[in-house]
Every structure is written in C-alpha cells, then in structure tokens.
Amino acid sequence: MEWYYHFRQGPYSEYLSVDVLIAGPAQRDQVRAALRKIHLPGEEIEQGFRILGYAPEGQAVGYI
C-alpha cells in the first residue's frame, strides 16, 4: 500500500508523529538501517519507530 503521498500535502505542522510498526527483529534491523540513512528525527519504541513530523519550537529532538 502506498502511503508516502500523504506527506506531500501538508501542512506538516499537523503531523506530530508517525509510528512505523515492525513485525520482528529482522525487519527492525532493516527499518532502522533505512531510517538512519535518511537521518530522521524520532525514536525507537517497543512496536517499532516513532518518526517526528513536528516538534514545538525549543523542544529538543533525537535522531534515529
């Protein structure tokens, strides 16, 4: 299923975060490697990864 086009429409300030859910350890490793390549702000969570789409001004964010 293609979903990426939704992020082109904006306004991006409405996207607080997007969770990328994983199915197992092998997929986690693959997704983590892909996200690190494109240096996205976010964090690893139990179910997968949380990508930050918007953070309030002054809020520190980490990168995957």
pLDDT, tens digit, for every residue of 14-63? 778 889 999 999 999 999 999 999 888 899 999 999 998 777 788 888 89
Residue 29 resides in a domain: yes
Burial of 49 (0-12, 13-18, 19+ CB in 10 A): buried
For residue 5, name the pLDDT band (cuts at 50, 70, 90): low
pTM across the whole model: 0.75
Is residue 48 a part of any domain in this protein?
A: yes
Report CA 50 to chain centroid distance, whole Å: 5
Residue 6 pLDDT level (bands cut at 50, 70, 90): low
Considering the domain boundaries, does residue 6 fall inside one?
A: no
Range of the domain at 25: 15-56+60-64
**CA 52 to CA 64: how far, in whole Å?**
10
Asked, for residue 10, whether it belongs to a domain, the answer is no
